[in-house]
Amino acid sequence: MHILFVADPVEHFKIYKDTTFSMMREAQRRGHRISVCEPRHISWQRGELVTAEVRDIVLTGDKEHWFTVEKEHRAALVDFGVVLMRKDPPFDAEYIYSTHLLEQAERDGAKVINKPSALRDHPEKLAIMEFPQFIGPTLVTRDAAQIKRFHAEHQDIILKPLDGMGGMGIFRVKADGLNLGSIIETLNKDGAQSVMVQKFLPEIAEGDKRVLIIGGKPVPYSLARIPQGSEVRGNLAAGGKGVARPLSEKDLHIAQSLGPVLHNRGLLLVGVDVIGECVTEINVTSPTCFQEIHDQTGFDVPAMFLDALEEAVRG
């Protein structure tokens, strides 16, 4: 099978922890061919197939010069066995346009994973609102007065933009309300942008758990991203420490409840973030933590993913 990875520039991958790299490595081990491109390389001309400027690569096994380019060429997306959309957020207008191009490639006959329409329909922070039984007190609004009322009710809150990633733009405001007005102005841009506000969950001290669901089934281990020092964010990109743990009974219940629903919508790979017993995000764009879980537990997450991918392509 020939796999096209649509991702951020491969030259910037940190291969010791990068999940897309771990997918590539397992794919090559199984004899699949690998090509790469960025969303900006995809185009669609009237009356023609959706195409992309791609590079066919081979992984070398070397830590520094980890790939070689065999060929650079333009190819129709339908000519690949599968197209894996692995572009990191932000979930902005350009990301949405990319999903439209990929959806046209589907109409051409391409197999695209995760399904482009499902990516659009599940913005990673808003998606949790569909499942109120699994989330804590949460508000999405542009209205500063609503945010202040939410704070007055819950006293200790988290505010974050809807399009952030890696913990960017996350603020905690405690009972004293210090700087709440300024933080609201920063995030909602005088009412122009929506903000997510959540009751602070003290269980974050035990970690923000990434629960992976592949092909509708949970990986048996989560990666708890534990905040360090005075930091409130557990994100690895914000300095959190990743500790792999077996799924708790509640984690398993959440994954088994959400997994089939999301899989049936065309989401082969999902990363559900859980603090305590509350879902805080449903990540569908480029879920990570494959290598950390594999390295710490021995459970082969990339192999589980490739098994599911091969089954999905066979139909």
CA 151 to chain centre: 28
Instruction: Give tens-digit pLDDT for 109-143.
Output: 999 999 999 999 999 899 999 999 999 999 999 99
Whether the pLDDT of residue 190 is over 80: the answer is yes
Is 179 noted as a catalytic residue in this protein?
no
What's the confidence (pLDDT) of residue 237? 66
Q: Which residues fall within 8 angstroms of residue 305, CB to CB, at 6 or more apart? A: 23, 26, 214, 269, 290
Whether the pLDDT of residue 235 is over 90: the answer is no
Is 233 noted as a catalytic residue in this protein?
yes
Is 125 noted as a catalytic residue in this protein?
yes
Of 7-11, 190-194, 269-273, which gets the smallest average pLDDT?
190-194
Is 273 noted as a catalytic residue in this protein?
yes
Whether the pLDDT of residue 98 is over 80: the answer is yes
Q: What number of residues does the chain have? A: 315
What's the confidence (pLDDT) of residue 200? 97
Residues 293-306 have a mean pLDDT of: 98
What's the confidence (pLDDT) of residue 150? 98
Instruction: Give tens-digit pLDDT for 207-233.
Output: 999 999 999 999 999 999 998 866 766
The overall pTM is greater than 0.85: yes
What's the confidence (pLDDT) of residue 280? 95
Average pLDDT, the chain: 95
Of 124, 208, 273, 292, which one is the catalytic site residue? 273
Nearest to 59 by CA among 84, 82, 26, 89: 26
What's the confidence (pLDDT) of residue 238? 58
The more confident residue out of 240 and 289 is 289
Whether the pLDDT of residue 180 is over 70: the answer is yes
Instruction: Give tens-digit pLDDT for 34-76.
Output: 999 999 999 999 999 999 999 999 999 999 999 999 999 999 9
Of 233, 235, 251, 292, which one is the catalytic site residue? 233
> Between the CA atoms of 32, 37, 41 and 46, what dihedral angle is there, to the nearest 10 degrees?
20
Of 210, 235, 251, 292, which one is the catalytic site residue? 210
Whether the pLDDT of residue 83 is over 80: the answer is yes
């081990």: which residue's tokens?
29
Structure tokens at 40: 């900006």
What's the confidence (pLDDT) of residue 240? 79
């990319």: which residue's tokens?
98
Of 103, 124, 281, 292, which one is the catalytic site residue? 281
Is 281 noted as a catalytic residue in this protein?
yes
Residues 87-116 have a mean pLDDT of: 96
Is 40 noted as a catalytic residue in this protein?
no
Of 87, 125, 199, 209, which one is the catalytic site residue? 125
Would you say the C-alpha torsion 80, 63, 212, 272 has a positive or negative sign? negative
Of 25, 86, 111, 160, which one is the catalytic site residue? 160
Of 225, 235, 251, 292, which one is the catalytic site residue? 225
